[in-house]
Structure 1
Amino acid sequence: MASIKEVAKHAGVSVATVSRVLNDKGYVSEEARKRVQKAIANLDYRPNAVARSLFKKTSKTIGLLVPDIVNPFFPELARAVEDTLSRHGYTVILCNTDESKEKEQAYLEMMMQKYIDGLIVATNTLTAAQVTKYNIPVVSIDRKISKELPGIMVENKKGASMAVRFLKKKGRKRIAHLRGPSYIPNAVERCAGYLEVVGEEPWFKESYIAEGNYDMTMSIESTIRLLNMHPDIDAIFAGNDVSAIGAIKAIHKLGKHVPRDIAVVGFDGIMLSEATTPELTTIAQPIYELGEIASATLIKIIEQQADDQTLYTLPVQLIERQST
């Protein structure tokens, strides 16, 4: 591969002149510019992206921090972000943090060294102070960091209430909840939506709520404990689809049938919810749209385009399938 020195020699100009042409910065005569462009074409020269980012303090690269790449929600979200940003000439660095403060901070330091142009974060541990100190545009997605930073969310509480009311209309009398981690705001909102509908029911006890932790293994274990403690449970609203799938597996392990004995509703609308047996009824988020809007919002900030709207709350919808 040709070097910048070879381009300069071929064009009969200095390396500095070639650099000015490549970066479109500084005066270059029209004649010299044409010679450089011709030399670049003849030698098939490709500028070093790292060197250019060091020079320009920009890289056309965006960082995407997600907490759990195993959860199918986040790969679907990442796909939307990557699709949208690539159409605008950006590449994406995907970082899986495992809900670890140390990993998040290490990724932030690494990306700053690469001069990323902006950051999209789905995080529960980073604070506004941590991300804003780097003085780069930041957009939060799915999980709000602060009121000061742009955020793209969905109607978590409303969606949860919708799910539980739907189960009541189906004739279910004892509805349990597999909640997500208490440190995740959307899990708190979904639990609040559940309580809004059944919290005042005469049968309700706090023990009808169990930790699903947005994790399949824990949801299986928690569902078995729930059903052994409250054999009258005839429906479960799970905080996400992964937990709902775990609940279905647990119900089958106990020799019960979904939905005849126990109906199950999840939350997210991941593609996997259509592949379960039975197919999962779910409160579907517009996952792709979340990624699109987050990416478009970040690009506007990077390119200094005026945009008064910084907080988006997208609607959800109930998709009825075989599990109810």
Structure 2
Amino acid sequence: MDAFLRRLPKVELHAHLNGSVSRETIRQLLAAHPPDSPLHAEFAEFERQCSLESFSSFFGLFRFVYAVTGTKAAIRAIAKQVVLDFEADGCTYLELRSTPRCGTGDLGSKQEYVDACLAGTQDALQELAARGVAMDVKWILSLDRRHSLEAGLDTVDLAVANMHRGVVGVDLCGDPEVGGFLQLKPAFSKARAAGLKVTLHMAEIESQGQDTIDMLDFGPDRIGHGTFLSGESRDRVIRDAIPIEVCLSSNVIGMTVPSIEEHHFNHFHFQGHPCVLCTDDRGVFACSLVHEYSLVEKHFRLSHADMVQLALKSVDYIFADNETKQRVRSRIDAFKAAEAL
């Protein structure tokens, strides 16, 4: 089944750039640091103690990602490698997301950060095209809940200015226990008015009740996680058929759900609600898109045809234009025909 799932052209809609950086890529970037840098020993110690059985033990990976990606060249390199990693996993359409940052190394502005991300994307796509591989990659710029409205508006302006270069949406992310949606709502309203799509990390923790209602009142185009949707919120999501970006490994390892069988995908998907399988942070959680599809196939006993249909339906929820959607559907349809499904 894994070989079949790797060949299956898949869609990834919830992938954080920095969380998707593999440990091998971190090692490569660390090699450029001086031999006496304490980062070498600290990373070796991190790898020694890291365990996917302990949420706190592996979350420190982000510190090393940020430590080695403080320059335009490094951002460009990780963007390229993350795209190539997803393609090797059978991903044919990818929406990567990141919060623009600056102030380290030669990153003088957030626009330079976005430029580096987009340049790395083009590097990867050119390499794939030379191999005869077709892939579409778009970008979502994230607004962190910790940031001010002014910072959020700046990110939206940046997203609007780069729509012609492949930025298709904006996201609300960050610590769900900090801030609230309403303080950043004007920024998301501005993004929507400009033609950008909106996805929101929602109901990640049980205490987000009112914040979840506020987000649903806004009406996002997609929802990230939705782990603790219940009662009125759950009913509204179902009524409005808002697609859910499902991240099984992330939720189970992060201990927001007790098991795959008890994951909310089980309830939403089998009620016919739109769900898209995603990795969230493939580098942090050591998962892959094939792995996420495999979890669903094994735990919910889905067939080859079911898996193709899951990938095909995911195309309906991408933020790119209809021409791109049709191109991606055609790749999956061609695979379906070749597999006689």
Which TM-score applies when normalising by structure 2?
0.29
Higher RCO (C-alpha 8 Å, min separation 6): 2
Which TM-score applies when normalising by structure 1?
0.30
Larger radius of gyration: 1
